[in-house]
Amino acid sequence: AQSVTQLDSQVPVFEEAPVELRCNYSSSVSVYLFWYVQYPNQGLQLLLKYLSGSTLVESINGFEAEFNKSQTSFHLRKPSVHISDTAEYFCAVSDLFSSNTGKLIFGQGTTLQVKP
Amino acid sequence: SQTIHQWPATLVQPVGSPLSLECTVEGTSNPNLYWYRQAAGRGLQLLFYSVGIGQISSEVPQNLSASRPQDRQFILSSKKLLLSDSGFYLCAWSVSTNYGYTFGSGTRLTVV
């Protein structure tokens, strides 16, 4: 069975500092990987995704994530964070067996707290 | 364009009362539909998913049920709410795994 582990429940960081949110998954087959962001009292928004090809994927607001198959990881990074990046971030995984249902398995979430 | 509507935004219900949360999708046909619950300080738990009208799969045994009476309508229900049903309920849709999900804005349910 698939599972997703987000290693940090909270990550405090100062504005303009770099940040890494860690995500590890377990699956015996090829996977699709996603990062979602959730602002307070809102639904989740897709931040970026890895389906195939280049292992480094980027979002429009400066985040990037790298798929590492050997380490079964998909860590999210940003070189310089802003106050507006304060939110909860969820890593999610799906595999080819779930392609008909599209089921995603989510991690527990990481709260990114950007301080001035 | 595709949109997803979820209502109500907030709900306070007494223990033992019934529940009905509705989710509708516009701008697409035959979507996969999902109900998730997010408890305070916890991740997202998949409750139900549906790949077609009348087709409901339950992921966890619980006090809730789901129905899909129309292609783009997904309803979450309970006959008698428990305190443990409190949480943030999210509806989502997808057309395939490649595209990930589009989430609704959520319903904050407080059972008192």
The secondary structure of B82-105 as a DSSP string is: -GGG-EEEEEEEESSGGG--EE--
Residue numbers of the domain that contains B65: 3-111
CATH code, B90: 2.60.40.10
CB contact under 8 A, A102 and B94: yes
- Report which residue type is found at B79: K
Distance (Å, whole) CA A65 – CA B62:
36
Percentage of residues in chain A having pLDDT higher than 90: 69
Question: Into how many domains does chain A fold?
Answer: 1
**Which residue range forms the structural domain that includes residue A65?**
3-115
Rounded to the nearest 5°, which phi and psi values hold at A85? -80, -5
Full strand arrangement of the beta sheet holding B65-70 = B3-7, B19-26, B73-78, B65-70
The answer to whether A87 touches A23, Cβ cutoff 8 Å, is no
Query: Contact A35/A47 with Cβ under 8 angstroms?
Result: yes
The confidence score (pLDDT) of residue A105 equals 87
For the segment A42-79, what is each residue's pLDDT rounded down to a tens digit?
Answer: 889 999 999 888 889 999 889 999 999 999 999 999 99
Both structure tokens of A4: 């997703």
pLDDT per position as a tens digit, B27-77 = 888 899 999 998 776 788 889 999 999 899 988 767 899 999 999 999 999
Determine the residue type at B110: T
Q: Which of B46, B51, B101 sits opposite A100 (nearest CB)?
A: B51
Candidates B46, B97, B103; nearest CB to A44: B103
Number of domains observed in the structure of chain B = 1
- Bridge partners for B45 per DSSP: B37
Question: Do the Cβ atoms of A98 and B97 come within 8 Å?
Answer: yes
| Candidates A57, A104, A105, partner chain B, best to mutate (most B CBs within 10 A) | A104
